[in-house]
Chains A and B, each alone.
Chain A
Amino acid sequence: MAKVKGAIVVDSEICKGCEVCIPVCPEDVIRMTPQVNRKGYHYAYMENPEACTGCTNCGIVCPDRAISVYRVKVS
């Protein structure tokens, strides 16, 4: 079975740090940065990027669509 590796890219200026993406991630990849963006919000980032499968759960619940998801098959 082909293994899948994923990655997310968070637009740090659009993210409002609502953390809705954190509980829906099955691999517990996402955390909030200690830094804040220009609006004063903490923004999401990949804490353990190797676990991401690119399932798009975080993207579909993101109200601001700050998350782009990438996925690739690795044999």
Chain B
Amino acid sequence: MELLDIIKPENQVFCKTEAMTDTCLSYCPGCGHGTAHNLAMEVIAEMGIIQDTIGVAPVGCSVLAYDFMNIDMTQAAHGRAPAVATAISRLWPEKYVFTYQGDGDLAAIGTAETIHACNRGENIVIIFINNGIYGMTGGQMAPTTLKGMKSSTSPFGRQEELTGAPLKMTELVANLPGVYYATRQAVHTHKHARKAKKALKKAFENTRLHKGISFVEIVSNCNSGWKMTPIESNIWMEENMFAYYPLGDIKVNGKLK
């Protein structure tokens, strides 16, 4: 069978979703942000809620998410995405509201907003991309930077006695009563990406049922910040990040696992 016999519109089984714009993503090659964007938008397109979804972009690498996601988007001040999402969700309770935040945004400057939004149990989805570093500003140390991990502000590795232990945000918020679903996923291989997509679908289903906060952490790479190739950074992530940030569900249907 010739290739041209296979490559026909009726045989297409996978392509870019309509919920993403044609704008070329501004991320570095191999960055997990692109996969996470696409998976979230594929879920929204499959659920048929493109018209009913409002996203809140953060500050960080993904600040331009509003250019890439073909849905209604706004952009919050640094770390304040859960507060903005709270307002949107309360004014439009029937809408699907989500925030898309990195670890510098959610776990550092926005810790208060994150924890209080989770404690109040707002009916929103928080998508948290954890790559252990401030990617956009030049690879500075984040609260999630691993012990001993080098960054531009910890050139000899992070020291716990000086800066504390890496912050496990998902475990932290899972203990709050307002959180209905908390999970940690990854997107660097097909298996992980498919699981992450299921988790995102469950999160948006929870919003449909007005269950409260769904907190989806995605452990991602930052190959530019980590000074590695994309493949090397994925291997490093599996060996080091997953050891400290184990993947899996932490809270399902309001019950800790």
A and B: interacting chains: yes
Interchain pairs with CB closer than 8 A, number: 97
Verify B231–A19 contact, CB threshold 8 A: yes
Q: Report Cα–Cα, A18/B229, bound state, in Å.
A: 8
A60 at the interface (CB under 8 A from B): yes
Q: How far is the CA of A67 from the CA of B14 in the complex (A)?
A: 8
Contact A70 B16 (CB under 8 A): no
Which A residues are in CB contact (< 8 Å) with B29? 16-18, 41, 63
B196's nearest neighbour on chain A, judged by CB, is A60
Query: B15 contacts the other chain (Cβ, under 8 Å)?
Result: yes
The A-contacting residues of B in range 10-41, CB under 8 angstroms, are 11-17, 20, 24-25, 27-35, 38-39
Q: Evaluate contact between A5 and B8: CB separation under 8 angstroms.
A: no
The majority secondary structure among interface residues of chain A is mixed
Task: Number of A interface residues at 8 Å Cβ cutoff, please give it.
Answer: 32
Contacts of A69 in B (CB 8 A): 12-15
- Cβ B231 vs Cβ A20 within 8 A: yes
Interface residues of B in 28-65 (CB under 8 A from A): 28-35, 38-39
How distant is the Cα of A17 from the Cα of B31 in the complex, in angstroms?
Answer: 11
Q: Are B30 and A19 in contact (CB under 8 A)?
A: yes
Report which of A7, A18, A57, A68 forms a contact with B15, defined as CB distance below 8 A.
A68
Chain B residues closer than 8 Å to A7, beta-carbon distance: 3, 6-7
Return chain A residues, CB-CB under 8 Å to B16: 65, 68
* Interface residue B230 (Cβ < 8 Å from any Cβ of A): yes
Q: Does B5 contact A (CB under 8 A)?
A: yes
Closest chain B residue to A71, Cβ basis:
B13
Q: Are the C-beta atoms of B193 and A61 separated by less than 8 Å?
A: yes
27 A–B contacts, CB within 8 A, in A order: A6-B6, A7-B3, A16-B29, A16-B30, A18-B29, A18-B30, A18-B230, A19-B231, A20-B231, A20-B234, A22-B231, A23-B231, A54-B13, A59-B14, A60-B39, A60-B197, A61-B187, A62-B35, A65-B34, A67-B14, A68-B14, A70-B7, A70-B8, A70-B11, A72-B1, A72-B6, A74-B1
14 more A-B residue pairs beyond the given contacts A22-B231, A72-B6, with a C-beta to C-beta distance below 8 A:
A5-B6, A18-B31, A19-B230, A23-B189, A59-B14, A60-B197, A61-B35, A63-B27, A63-B33, A63-B34, A64-B24, A69-B15, A71-B11, A72-B5
Closest 8 CB pairs of A and B: A63-B34, A18-B30, A16-B29, A18-B29, A69-B14, A57-B190, A65-B16, A59-B14
Question: Interface residues, chain A, CB within 8 Å of chain B?
Answer: 5-7, 9, 14, 16-20, 22-24, 41, 49, 54, 56-57, 59-65, 67-72, 74
